[in-house]
C-alpha cells in the first residue's frame, strides 16, 4: 500500500478539531510556518524588528498575538554577526584586545578586562600586574558602567515615551565618555586594557577632571532618578510587568540587574573578586519585586555605587603616585611609552630614535613583539567579570603559540535574551517593549 508524504507544515482537518493545528517538523523555517499556518482572525504572528526602535539593535522578536495579548514570543538573532571570536584566532594575543572590545560596544572596557585577565592567568603573571594598573582598570570599568547604565535608562525611557529621559541620559553618558577619552584617547572601543596592565598611565590633569566629574555625574544621576522613579507613566508601564523570579533566572542562567531584582545579591565583584575589588567599599544593590521597575531602580542605585568606587580610585592613584602600569617583563610588556608623531599618526620621532639608538637587539625585539607577539603557554582558562548586564566570561585556549587557539565569550546579553519568552508570554504587546528595555541587550555581544 502506497503512502503519501505528509507536508510537515500541513494543518489537520479543521472539521475534526476546533481550530487549525500546525505540526512543525524538524529543519523547518519559522517564515514557512507563518505562511502556511491558519491561525484564525484574532490570532496572528507579527515581527518586531530586526530594525525596530524598541529592540536595542538588530534583534528580531517573533510574536504570536491574540488581540493585544502575546501568546508566544521568540528571539531571532544573527543579524549583526561579526565573526570577532574567529578573527581573534589569527591575531596576536595583544591584537585580540582590539577585536573583543567591539563586542558589547556599550561596555568595551569589561570585554578587554575579562580577556586580559584570562591571558594573564595563562601566562602566570596575575600577581605581577602593577597595583596602579589594577586601579586604572577598576576606574575605567566603573566609568564604563555609568556610561552603559545611562544608555539603558535613556533608550528605555525613549521607548516608553519619555524623550527627556533620552536626552538627559545621553547627556550624562557624555560626561563619562569625556573622562574615558581623556584616559584612553577614545570614547569607544578603547583597546586600553592590555595583557600585563594597561596601555598607558593617566595624563596630567586627569585626576582634576575626575574631581569635577564626580559631583556633576552624581547630580545627573539624581535628575534621572527624579525623572523616572516616581513618574506615573513609567511606573504604570514598569511596575509588575516582565516578572521573572529567582527560580526562572537560575534555570536560564540570567545574571546582572535582572537576577538581582529577585533579591539575590549575586555580583562577581564580591563573590569572585578580581582587580582588587575586594578592597573597595561598595554595596550590591538588590530589590525583591522581580519586575521591570526593579531593574530600572537597580541600575540607578548601581551608578551611585560606581561613583563611590571612582572616588576611592582617585584617592589610591593620588597615594600611589607615578609608577609602572605594565608588568616588568620585556618578553611580554607592550611598549608603554608610545607617543604619536607630529602628524597625529604613528610613533613620534623621539620614540623611534630611542628604540633605534639603544641597540640592534632592542630594535629586533621591539619589531618581533609588535608584529609577532609573545608566546603563551599551552592551556585553557575561564575568567569572568561583572559587566553592566551580568557575568561576562571568556574561555581562552592556548596551544603555546603567539595567537589564541580559541577565545569564546559568555556574553550576558546572549544568555539574558532567553528570558524574553518567559517575561513576555501572557502579557500585553506594549509590555514587550518594556521587558526588552529592562533586559538591556546589546546585540554586538550577542552576535559576536
What is the per-residue pLDDT across 38-69, written as a single tens digit (0 to 9) for each? 455 567 888 887 777 667 778 888 889 888 88
DSSP state of 89: G
User: Residue 345: phi, psi to the nearest 5?
Assistant: -125, 150
Residue 69 corresponds to which cell in the numbers above? Answer: 495579548
More confident residue, 285 or 348: 285
Domains and CATH numbers, the chain: 84-332+374-446 (1.10.645.10)
Q: Categorise residue 216: left if φ over 0, alpha if ψ from -120 to 50, beta otherwise.
A: alpha
82 near 100, Cβ under 8 Å?
Answer: no
pLDDT, position 354: 75
Tell me what the mean pLDDT of segment 177-202 comes to.
91
Terminal Cα distance for the chain, rounded: 52
Residue 113 corresponds to which cell in the numbers above? Answer: 578586562
Instruction: Identify which of 429, 442, 440 has the alpha carbon closest to the alpha carbon of residue 237.
Output: 429
pLDDT, position 22: 56
Radius of gyration of the chain (CA): 25
Which alpha helices (DSSP H) does 265-345 contain, by range? 268-271, 292-320
Task: Calculate the CA 264 to chain-centre distance.
Answer: 21
pLDDT, position 29: 65
What is the per-residue pLDDT across 284-298, written as a single tens digit (0 to 9) for each? 999 999 999 999 999
Q: What's the whole-model pTM score?
A: 0.85
Indicate if the pLDDT at residue 400 is higher than 70: yes
The residues, any chain, with a CB within 8 Å of residue 322's CB and separated by 6 or more, are 201
Confidence class for position 10, pLDDT limits 50, 70, 90? very low
70 near 424, Cβ under 8 Å?
Answer: yes
Amino acid at each position: 500500500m502506497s503512502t503519501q508524504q505528509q507536508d510537515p507544515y500541513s494543518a489537520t482537518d479543521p472539521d475534526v478539531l476546533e481550530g487549525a493545528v500546525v505540526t512543525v517538523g524538524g529543519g523547518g523555517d519559522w517564515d514557512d510556518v507563518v505562511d502556511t499556518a491558519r491561525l484564525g482572525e484574532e490570532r496572528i504572528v507579527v515581527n518586531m524588528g530586526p530594525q525596530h526602535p524598541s529592540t536595542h539593535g538588530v534583534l528580531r522578536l517573533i510574536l504570536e498575538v491574540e488581540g493585544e495579548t502575546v501568546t508566544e514570543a521568540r528571539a531571532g538573532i544573527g543579524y549583526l554577526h561579526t565573526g570577532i571570536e574567529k578573527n581573534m584566532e589569527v591575531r596576536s594575543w595583544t591584537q585580540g584586545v582590539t577585536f573583543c572590545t567591539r563586542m558589547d560596544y556599550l561596555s568595551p572596557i569589561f570585554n578587554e578586562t575579562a580577556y586580559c585577565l584570562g591571558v594573564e592567568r595563562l601566562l602566570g603573571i596575575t600577581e605581577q600586574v602593577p597595583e596602579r594598573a589594577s586601579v586604572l582598570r577598576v576606574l575605567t570599568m566603573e566609568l564604563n558602567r555609568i556610561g552603559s547604565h545611562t544608555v539603558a535608562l535613556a533608550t528605555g525611557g525613549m521607548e516608553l515615551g519619555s524623550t527627556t529621559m533620552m536626552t538627559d541620559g545621553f547627556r550624562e553618558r557624555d560626561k563619562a565618555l569625556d573622562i574615558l577619552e581623556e584616559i584612553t584617547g577614545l570614547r569607544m572601543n578603547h583597546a586600553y586594557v592590555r595583557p600585563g596592565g594597561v596601555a598607558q598611565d593617566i595624563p596630567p590633569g586627569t585626576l582634576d577632571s575626575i574631581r569635577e566629574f564626580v559631583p556633576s555625574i552624581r547630580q545627573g544621576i539624581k535628575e534621572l532618578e527624579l525623572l523616572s522613579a516616581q513618574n506615573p507613566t513609567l511606573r504604570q508601564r514598569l511596575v509588575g510587568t516582565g516578572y521573572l523570579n529567582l527560580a526562572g533566572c537560575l534555570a536560564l542562567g540570567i545574571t546582572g540587574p535582572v537576577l538581582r531584582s529577585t533579591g539575590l545579591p549575586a555580583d562577581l565583584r564580591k563573590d569572585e573578586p578580581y582587580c582588587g575589588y575586594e578592597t573597595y567599599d561598595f554595596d550590591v544593590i538588590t530589590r525583591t519585586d522581580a519586575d521591570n521597575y526593579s531593574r530600572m531602580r537597580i541600575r540607578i542605585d548601581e551608578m551611585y555605587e560606581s561613583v563611590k568606587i571612582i572616588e576611592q580610585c582617585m584617592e589610591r592613584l593620588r597615594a600611589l603616585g607615578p609608577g609602572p602600569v605594565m608588568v616588568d617583563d620585556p618578553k611580554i610588556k607592550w611598549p608603554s611609552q608610545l607617543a604619536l608623531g607630529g602628524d597625529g599618526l604613528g610613533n613620534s620621532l623621539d620614540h623611534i630614535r630611542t628604540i633605534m639608538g639603544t641597540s640592534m637587539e632592542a630594535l629586533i625585539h621591539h619589531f618581533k613583539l609588535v608584529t609577532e607577539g609573545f608566546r603563551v603557554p599551552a592551556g585553557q582558562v575561564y575568567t569572568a567579570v561583572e559587566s553592566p548586564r551580568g557575568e561576562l566570561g571568556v574561555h581562552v585556549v592556548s596551544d603555546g603559540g603567539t595567537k589564541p587557539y580559541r577565545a569564546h565569550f559568555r556574553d550576558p546579553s546572549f544568555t539574558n535574551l532567553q528570558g524574553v519568552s518567559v517575561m513576555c508570554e501572557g502579557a500585553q504587546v506594549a509590555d514587550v517593549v518594556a521587558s526588552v528595555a529592562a533586559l538591556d541587550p546589546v546585540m554586538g555581544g550577542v552576535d559576536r
